[in-house]
Amino acid sequence: MQTRFHMAITVSLAAIWLVLIAFGVISRSSPGWLKDLARVGTKIESQVFVDQGDIHMRARKYQSAVASYQRALEIKPDYVEPRLNQAIAYARSGQLDLGVRTLREALETGVTQAEKVYYNLADLLVKQEKWDEAIQCYREALNLGINPGIAYHKMGTVYLGRNEHQKAREALENSLAAVRDATLPYLDMLQSSLSVYEDDPVNLRVVEEQIAAGIREEDLALYDMEIIRRTNETSPRIARLHNLLGFACASLEDYDAAIAHFERSLEIRPGDAKTQKNLEALRGYGNQREMRVKP
């Protein structure tokens, strides 16, 4: 009985020893599947701290959020989401300069999804009233593929604030055209998938090829395009853009265009008092009416 027991122990120890040797050999040879497994594990571990940071952000515990995002970056330094969120947390805690520096350093050291970094950097530069730098960053983000509907909208509001009404009009018209483009939401979804599949080379390549090829309306034949267009045309963002365009056109003394934009905005949001007031101002104050219109 004792001999049989000793034999079982010996066999068990030998099996463990062989497993350890095998794992050591595998680790030393570094096969692709083991590297992929390690990358996935790193991403998951980092995401735990990102989620923790997001909880702190919602609770307005910004210093705690910064610390959580820093832990995520220590685990996965090339992870863009905690870098962006950390900069935003700095800004909301009153450390705007530190938020700007965080994003500038990310761009200097090289980062994936640089368009998101440029876009968020532009937002922080606007808060610093560094208008020219902000506009340049929005342009860089656009060149790298950020959603043009959002970026041109932000640029337009910056130009309005500087009384550069022609540039504001052009930027806001670009935003309006982009928001009306039914293919953009699908393209946004693909671009968001880049971070999801960053550790999955096969699917990542598929997504990258789709983005490079571009999206056409015929590619979305499975969806009801009429519903998508109707939803786009009645969105609050469209109403806001028409109101801003109305102000820009009124400031350029293109009153007919201004009235048309205000009327369209009110069709979408009938109860908007500011837009109604702007429209009444244009219809009722003759040559001085542009002075009474506000964005």
Mean pLDDT per 10-residue interval, the chain, length 295 residues: 52 51 49 46 84 95 95 90 94 95 92 90 96 97 92 97 96 93 63 62 69 63 57 79 94 93 93 88 63 54
- Does 47 share its domain with 74? yes
34 in a domain, yes or no?
Answer: no
Domain boundary among 110, 136, 155: 110
Q: Looking at the domain assignment, is residue 30 inside a domain?
A: no
Cα–Cα distance for residue pair 21/111, rounded to 1 Å: 38
Answer yes or no: is 9 within a domain.
Answer: no
In a domain, 163, yes or no: yes
In the chain, how many domains are there? 4
199: domain range? 188-216
**Within a domain: 158:** yes
205 and 258 together in one domain: no
In this structure, what CATH number is given to the domain that contains residue 79? 1.25.40.10
Residue 126 counted as domain residue: yes
Contacts of 99 (CB under 8 A, 6+ apart): 86, 87, 88, 89, 90, 91, 124
What pTM value is reported for the model? 0.72
Q: What is the pLDDT of residues 259-283, one digit of tens each?
A: 999 999 999 999 888 889 888 888 8
Name which of 104, 154, 86, 101 is nearest 126 in CA terms: 154
**19 belongs to a structural domain:** no
Residue 270 lies in a domain: yes
